[in-house]
């Protein structure tokens, strides 16, 4: 389920199959913004917040429709956030693939991250 809040974009976790109990642990957020460099051009700083009770092991992103995913966040603990800098095209839409510490994954297509510069990972 995807919920849109007035000033944020929420990505719901689809906990379809739990493959294994991953290393749950508190992970620290990166102080240095991670940069995704697709075709070049304008950039935007996006705040990624993990509002789930399970840590994120990796968040991968690609320009919408592109098969070239790149990891932009690794090890983001529950309740933590980090800022990433993304180069975007005119559309500013991205496909996201999230892997959680408990083995669950979620995938979102064509998400407009430029609307408010936030990605919230929620239960």
Q: Phi first, then psi: give them for residue 38, nearest 5 degrees.
A: -65, -125
Q: Which domain holds residue 96?
A: 4-122
Residue 69, token pair as written in the block: 């995913």
Return the structure tokens found at 103: 């083995």
For residues 16 and 66, what is the distance between their CA atoms, to the nearest angstrom?
A: 24
The pTM for the full model equals 0.67
Mean pLDDT of all residues in 105-109: 93
Q: Mean per-residue pLDDT for 54-82? A: 96
Per-residue pLDDT tens digits for 20-52? 223 333 333 444 444 444 456 799 999 999 999
pLDDT on residue 55:
97
| Residues 52-75, mean pLDDT to the nearest whole number | 96
> What CATH number should be reported for the domain holding residue 109?
2.60.40
What pLDDT shows up at residue 41?
Answer: 77
How many domains does the chain fold into?
1
* Pairing of β 56-63 and β 43-50: unpaired
The answer to whether residues 99 and 71 touch, using CB atoms and an 8 Å cutoff, is no
CA distance 98 to 75: 11
Burial of 94 (0-12, 13-18, 19+ CB in 10 A): buried
């Amino acid at each position: 389920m995807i919920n849109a809040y007035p000033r944020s974009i929420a990505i719901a976790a689809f906990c379809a199959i739990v493959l294994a109990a991953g290393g749950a642990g508190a992970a620290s957020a990166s102080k240095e913004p991670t940069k995704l460099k697709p075709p070049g051009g304008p950039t935007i700083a996006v705040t990624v917040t993990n509002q789930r009770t399970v840590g994120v092991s990796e968040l991968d992103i690609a320009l919408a429709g592109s098969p070239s995913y790149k990891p932009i966040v690794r090890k983001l603990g529950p309740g933590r956030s980090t800022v990433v800098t993304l180069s975007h095209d005119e559309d500013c839409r991205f496909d996201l693939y999230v892997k959680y510490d408990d083995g669950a994954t979620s995938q979102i297509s064509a998400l407009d991250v430029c609307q408010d510069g936030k990605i919230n990972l929620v239960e």
